Structure 1
Amino acid sequence: MAEKRNIFLVGPMGAGKSTIGRHLSQQLHMEFLDSDVVIEERTGADVAWVFDVEGEKGFRKREESIINDLTKLQGIVLATGGGSVKSKENRNRLSARGIVVYLETAIEKQLARTNRDKKRPLLQTKDPREVLEFLAIQCNTLYEEVADYTVSTDNQSAKVVANQIIKILEER
């Protein structure tokens, strides 16, 4: 890719946005950013704490501001939070400021990939499957709406998915 357009990764928890994003950024020699990590850096607290203190609404407000800031940068790979697409402003900014890749994954894979992760406040319930199914109903059409490309992450390693995305972008 001669020009380094921003690459924004969207998708549900456990789709591999952060891991795949790191692979992409290394191979393309681009800066990698994770919106959740930036939220933690700017607040001085982890995402779970922000959810506890400010609720999801407060967290989404912070997320919207940070996605606005990050999408203004040039030549980055950005892993967004799973629920970031709930905001129309986020969807508009992502679409206008870069190439959006939806990393699609099945709920079974999400459960397997997130079952030991205590940093996901929405999954700290008795029934994570129910939460993931509800989020899929809320967000899957929004991921599809905002995406320029959709790539399944279910049966491939992060490195293979990153290479697949690079190939798609080179053919573009």
Structure 2
Amino acid sequence: MQTVRPIALIGPMAVGKSAIGQQLAQQLGAAFLDTDAVIVANHGTIADIFAGRGEHAFRELEARAVAQAIEDAQGTNTVISLGGGAVLDSGTQQLLDHCTVVYLECDAETVAERIARNSGRPLLAGDAMERWKALFATRRPVYERLADLVIDVRSGSVPDIAHRLKDALGGPAAAKTAAGSMPAATKEVEK
């Protein structure tokens, strides 16, 4: 008998992991956990952590939050949203083997308006779009390598994208076994 695997949403900053994750969890009747929200609830704003303790301290808190979320979600129907840089940690990469990993794929045009509205992203200080593009260029290969499924989020509303993702996962039954047993073609972008 196969066990339920949590669904982990990965992708760049401002792609909509939290909103899509909440909507997907609702559609699946699953629990939802946003690791950035856990960090903020326990340690203060991400901007304050960066300003007071630095990026390295934030990454340590992030790795612990992700590890705890994945551990707590094992065997449950849970959707977990990870921060954009969480996948850079080698321990996190190993833990994601225990999840169905969904890469929410986008481009700079997709996130430009969201980034312009939100100045609280410490890694985007200065020319936010140029910083985003540079971060995305280094992280994209990691997202692609870790993904069991890639969903194009460049068009559609949040509920529509979540519904496409639910369909791509095959509903609750397929979500249980998605990673490792999905045909290779499933790794292609779902539009």
Q: Map residues 19-38 of structure 1 onto 2, 5 A cutoff.
A: 19-38=19-38
Q: Which residue pairs with 2:104 in the alignment? A: 103
Q: Which residue pairs with 1:79 in the alignment? A: 81
Q: Which residue pairs with 1:150 in the alignment? A: 150
The Cα of 1:169 is off from its aligned counterpart by: 1.1
Name the SS for the 2:38 alignment partner.
Answer: helix
Name the SS for the 1:81 alignment partner.
Answer: coil
The share of aligned pairs that are identical, in percent, is 33
The Cα of 1:36 is off from its aligned counterpart by: 0.6
Deviations 1:10-69 (A, max 9, x none): 0001111000001011111111111110001111x1111011111111100110011110
Name the SS for the 2:154 alignment partner.
Answer: coil
Q: Which residue pairs with 1:11 in the alignment? A: 11
1:39–1:17 Cα change, 3 Å: same
Name the SS for the 1:32 alignment partner.
Answer: strand
The TM-score with structure 1 as length reference comes to 0.92
The TM-score with structure 2 as length reference comes to 0.83
Q: Which residue pairs with 1:115 in the alignment? A: 116
The Cα of 1:3 is off from its aligned counterpart by: 6.3
1:87–1:102 Cα change, 3 Å: same
Amino acid at match of 2:46: V
Amino acid at match of 2:83: G
The Cα of 1:5 is off from its aligned counterpart by: 2.4
The Cα of 1:162 is off from its aligned counterpart by: 0.7
Deviations 1:52-99 (A, max 9, x none): 1111111001100111100012321111000111111111111x2210
Q: Gaps spanning 5+ residues in structure 2: where?
A: 179-191
Structure 1 residue runs of 4 or more that deviate by more than 6 Å after TM superposition:
none
Question: What is the RMSD computed on CA atoms of the aligned residues?
Answer: 1.5
C-alpha distance in 2, partners of 1:36/1:119? 13
Q: Gaps spanning 5+ residues in structure 1: where?
A: none
